[in-house]
Amino acid sequence: MLSDESRLLAGVLLLSLVTVETGGLYLLRIVRGTAPVTAFQEKFARAGHAHAAVLLLLGLVCLLYVDATSLDGAAGWLARSGVPASALLLPGGFFFSSMGAGRETANPRFFWMVPAGGLLLAISLATLGVALLVA
Whether residue 123 contacts residue 78, with contact meaning beta carbons closer than 8 Å, is answered with: yes
* The predicted structure's pLDDT at residue 103: 97
Angle, vertex CA 5, rays to CA 8 and CA 13, nearest 5 = 40
* Cα dihedral sign, 38-44-45-47: positive
Which class for 106: exposed (0-12), middle (13-18), buried (19 or more C-beta within 10 A)?
middle
* The predicted structure's pLDDT at residue 88: 95
pTM above 0.85, yes or no: yes
- Whole-number mean pLDDT of the chain? 96
Give pLDDT tens digits for 45-66.
999 999 999 999 999 999 999 9
